[in-house]
Structure 1
Amino acid sequence: MGEGRQPAQAGPILHFRGIEGQAIRLAAIVIRRDDTAPGSLRAAGAEIAPRRLAAIAGITAWRYDFTLAAGDPGYELEGEHYEVATEFDGDLRIAFVSCNGEENGDLDRDGEERNLMWARLARDHARAPFALLLQGGDQVYADEATQGHPLSHDWPDKASEVDDPIALAGLAEHLRHRFVERYLHVLQARGYAWMAARVPVLSVWDDHDICDGWGSLPEKRSRSAVGRTLFAVARETYLLFQHGAVEGDIPDLFLDASGASLSWKRELPGLTIAAPDLRSERDRHRILGPAGWRAVEALAPRGAQVFLVSSVPLLGPRLSLLERLMMAIPRMQHYEDDLRDQWQSRAHREEWQRMLREVLKWRTEAPVTALSGEIHLATRAVMGPDAQRVHQLVASGISHRAPPKAYARSLGLFAGLGEAPLPGHPIRIHPLPGQRHRYVAERNYLTLARRDGRWQAVWHLEDSGETPALDLSD
């Protein structure tokens, strides 16, 4: 493990727990390399002592649970004051990001280049504060975590047959060090660290938070002892670093108290934000399992606007045609797992239709906007008809470098074929406001703003700058 690259500490990192009366409930996480407790946190005139949350891979995580009333200026920790936006009634700003890393060599990238869009987002917050930071998946890229251990060095091409508990415990410890290294690399990144101390986060995971294509790989791999060990460590560190939580916190934070699905929902004044877990129960034949579907069907959003965080884009082009083409070309068959990972895969069509029907039920009560990442491009889509319009906004690649523009153009031509998985509800991929093409190959993030009760979205593109605002309230 790259011990020299691990910072001595990280945090505070704010996690949004919910609204309680006129106050917001928060958790702040601090990471230390030894077991020495950090100092007390001061908020709303109270001193909050840290709770020792977990010790893992040579670090100790401490948590402060506290509330801030509307209008409170923020909190203090170890001599530093952190301003926090605490007004959730009326006008509101939210940032959405995804794909914070790359599959190969992310730890060795130039920090200024890697975190350029985070620096812009931090400046954006300093100008007009965000109340929430939504993270839509692939917050870390753990694909290289399996390297350097004999049981997992060939993953995912091979999965060693092993039933030795001691050997598997050694693999788990290796993976914990590798995952912690990657999380700390992100948490200490310039821009991100400043934002995370001041803007509470809500996160959902995607495949790279585990490994590339998790759930769409051959089941012999994912169900092997190595695969189960990898998933367990990824889940443990996802809970800790992306939710400031451990196993015992699951019933309070997620919709499924058993933890089989890590789907969640938060109700804010006039807004419901929900995120189905598209990874925990996934296999090659399904995206959601029984616990996930129970969570989705019981969501019952109450806000005047619904944001549905779908780590894999919910509205997209007709991928079944592309799947058939690729399977007919031997050199392209290794991309089949990538296509099977999508809602639009022919393997998931009935399940996709089921999810869209649920979305339309919510749409009878309030406008619904799906927020997605995953594809390393910026785009948007609309499902009609106008009376039941559902928007999808894709912002993907806060630090992942964009694919070639030719790829984006080709995908845009393919998307022109359209799709209608539900009769009378066609899906169309549209250019971003101010753009000519359906997909934009630039790093990007998304801002969502409620002004006078109406929601608008703006994409922030690395080279092209800000788009004109898109109205979401109709």
Structure 2
Amino acid sequence: MSEKLVLGPLLSVEDDNKYIVCFLSKTNLDYSVIFNNTIVKATKFANLNSGYFYRAEYNIKQSKNSRIIKYQIQNEKGILEDFNKRDFWEFYIPAKDEKPKFAYGSCNGFSSPDLLAKIDVPYKLWEKLEIAHKQEPFSVLIMGGDQVYADELWSKVLELEKWSKLKMSEKVKRNASKTMIRQLNDFYEKLYIKKWSDKSMSLALASIPTVMMWDDHDIFDGWGSYPEELQTCNVYNNIFNVAKKYFEIFQIRTIKNHTLLSKKRDHFSFALKFRNYHILGLDNRAQRSIYSVMGNEQWKDINNYLDENALNDNLLVLSAVPVVYRDFSCTEDLVDFTSWQEELTDDLKDHWRAKEHQGERMRLIMRLFMNIQKRKSNKKNTRTVILSGDVHVGSLGVINDHENKDKIHQVVSSGIVHTPPSYIEWLGICAVTNDRNEFLNEDKTIETSMLTPIGSAKYLRVRNFVTLNEGTDEKLWINWVCDNKDKPCYALN
């Protein structure tokens, strides 16, 4: 009988020529990964409660022809199987001059057990992704946040449940006990193993190279948008440190990830070049506070990449929370003066258009337009697309620079597993928000607006993921794959 992996394999990509396979095994042995006829030694990076986490790097030069790479994991006892009894996997490498096909998804779980109970096939979209990949393979799967939902920690971590019942004045004084930290480690580790072992999802994570960036639910709901005394208390800091540990292992695939812009581990923003695309992932959680989204050092790292590396080709920017979306500012002002402030603050302050973040949002938009100007001066492609999730509906937005005739599109796909708001909930959201066009400067040359995808309503109140690929018409086609018969799409020039 073959030995089984605890979790994995997890396939990722770090540049045009570097692919990574990671896995969690029960035994502390010598492991290697066989890529076609090439054997690559796997290096152990972490000892966890459930086993040992390994990483193998496979370097393969681009070719004028596309290729299928078959791989297996072995130790001295033989070939290993995954949780679903598969003992080999395959992935697709596009040709050197081939235009890659991307998939993008977010919100890979449920924020409450009640939502899970109401869904007949929770991972239906992963099944659709598996079918789509077999028909026409994806080059990269981009995951834009909430790859796991850790919100149950308040009831599953017993020491944390006790702490949560204290008065606020007591909460902020208490330190996390060794027992609490041990329970937190156990919770997050088991969460990844359980949620990522679904048959279709695990096959996709082993067969499509991924890049991932976290959002709040990978830590817990609203992380970074709580009042300062709570956000900086010892218990919250310890929750974050444990969540960060497992995010770094399972999603970033260890600190050895070559795409990270900072080696200090103070943020996880990353960037890589894949064929004719730059992929820039913004970490909007590691340094987030109620007053800012990203710290100064992170901004320097991002600006350096935009100024020194992203000087040609197209740019995909991951911002988990949408930069262009409905305006919650009126609701925010109302809540600031009501008894609901404590309960709703984290939800409202999480948006880019919260008053504390509006200046930083403008900074991001202007930096992206500056980058477009640099690429235009080099007579290179200037298509810039922001990929977002978080809001549990799909949508499409655009930021126009009318003076320079430049634009930035934003594609929202949410969620691949999480359910959309109910009809009544959506009516409530629409009643207290608006999506009127917004001018960002006094001469009204920078304007944001929401667009309507072809073949759907303006907002896709249905579970979905997105595919992005350039057609023969040289347009970037955005297709939402939905949990119903709708097939929304849009072509970006």
CA deviation string 1:166-194 (max 9, x = no partner): x6333222111101111112221121111
1:295 aligns with 2:301: yes
1:227 aligns with 2:230: no
Residue in 2 aligned with 1:4? none
Residue in 2 aligned with 1:121? 129
Whole-angstrom CA distance in 2 between matches of 1:83 and 1:302: 33
Residue in 2 aligned with 1:68? 60
Residue in 2 aligned with 1:442? 462
**Corresponding residue to 2:28 among 12, 28, 35:** 35
Q: 3-state DSSP class of the match of 2:153?
A: coil
1:393 aligns with 2:411: yes
CA deviation string 1:249-275 (max 9, x = no partner): 26x331122121211111122211101
1:280 aligns with 2:275: no
Residue in 2 aligned with 1:83? 90
Residue in 2 aligned with 1:375? 391
CA shift, 1:441, in A, is: 1.2
Does the CA-based 8 Å contact 2:101-2:468 persist in structure 1? yes
Whole-angstrom CA distance in 2 between matches of 1:187 and 1:17: 21
**Corresponding residue to 1:214 among 223, 227, 241:** 223
Whole-angstrom CA distance in 2 between matches of 1:432 and 1:141: 29
Whole-angstrom CA distance in 2 between matches of 1:89 and 1:196: 25
CA shift, 1:282, in A, is: 0.6
Residue in 2 aligned with 1:465? 486
Residue in 1 aligned with 2:143? 135
1:162 aligns with 2:174: yes
**Which amino acid counterpart does residue 418 of structure 1 have in structure 2?**
N
Does the CA-based 8 Å contact 1:151-1:160 persist in structure 2? no
Residue in 2 aligned with 1:321? 330
**Corresponding residue to 2:40 among 44, 48, 57:** 48
- Matched ranges for 1:233-312 at <5 A: 233-246=242-255, 249=256, 252-300=258-306, 301-312=310-321
Residue in 2 aligned with 1:25? 18
Runs of 5+ unmatched residues, structure 1: 1-6
Whole-angstrom CA distance in 1 between matches of 2:400 and 2:135: 36
Q: 3-state DSSP class of the match of 2:103?
A: strand
Does the CA-based 8 Å contact 1:377-1:408 persist in structure 2? no
Residues 401, 37 of structure 1: CA spacing in aligned structure 2 closer, same or farther, 3 A cutoff? farther
Whole-angstrom CA distance in 2 between matches of 1:261 and 1:241: 16
**Which amino acid counterpart does residue 95 of structure 1 have in structure 2?**
A
CA deviation string 1:244-301 (max 9, x = no partner): 114xx26x33112212121111112221110111011111110111122112211221
TM-score by length of 2: 0.86
**Which amino acid counterpart does residue 29 of structure 1 have in structure 2?**
C
CA shift, 1:304, in A, is: 1.9
CA shift, 1:339, in A, is: 1.1
CA shift, 1:154, in A, is: 4.3
CA shift, 1:382, in A, is: 1.1
Does the CA-based 8 Å contact 2:224-2:231 persist in structure 1? yes
**Which amino acid counterpart does residue 127 of structure 1 have in structure 2?**
Q
**Which amino acid counterpart does residue 52 of structure 1 have in structure 2?**
K
Does the CA-based 8 Å contact 1:383-1:425 persist in structure 2? yes
Mean alpha-carbon deviation: is it higher for 109-118 or for 382-391? 109-118
Residues 178, 168 of structure 1: CA spacing in aligned structure 2 closer, same or farther, 3 A cutoff? same
Residue in 2 aligned with 1:102? 110
Residues 331, 205 of structure 1: CA spacing in aligned structure 2 closer, same or farther, 3 A cutoff? same
Residue in 2 aligned with 1:349? 358
Residues 156, 100 of structure 1: CA spacing in aligned structure 2 closer, same or farther, 3 A cutoff? farther
Mean alpha-carbon deviation: is it higher for 413-422 or for 215-224? 413-422
Mean alpha-carbon deviation: is it higher for 349-358 or for 132-141? 349-358
CA shift, 1:316, in A, is: 2.1
CA deviation string 1:213-238 (max 9, x = no partner): 11101121221111111111111100
Does the CA-based 8 Å contact 2:141-2:208 persist in structure 1? yes
The count of corresponding residues between Structure 1 and Structure 2 is 454
CA deviation string 1:312-333 (max 9, x = no partner): 1011233222211333443476
**Which amino acid counterpart does residue 260 of structure 1 have in structure 2?**
D
Q: 3-state DSSP class of the match of 2:387?
A: strand
**Which amino acid counterpart does residue 437 of structure 2 have in structure 1?**
G
- Identity of paired residues, percent? 22
Does the CA-based 8 Å contact 2:116-2:122 persist in structure 1? no
Does the CA-based 8 Å contact 2:103-2:142 persist in structure 1? yes
Q: 3-state DSSP class of the match of 1:299?
A: helix
**Corresponding residue to 1:431 among 452, 468, 475:** 452
**Which amino acid counterpart does residue 124 of structure 1 have in structure 2?**
A
Whole-angstrom CA distance in 2 between matches of 1:343 and 1:219: 18
Whole-angstrom CA distance in 2 between matches of 1:404 and 1:106: 13
CA shift, 1:81, in A, is: 3.8
CA shift, 1:107, in A, is: 11
Q: 3-state DSSP class of the match of 2:188?
A: helix
TM-score by length of 1: 0.89
Mean alpha-carbon deviation: is it higher for 67-76 or for 196-205? 67-76
Whole-angstrom CA distance in 1 between matches of 2:430 and 2:302: 31
CA shift, 1:26, in A, is: 1.2
CA shift, 1:376, in A, is: 0.5
Runs of 5+ unmatched residues, structure 2: 74-78, 80-86, 376-381
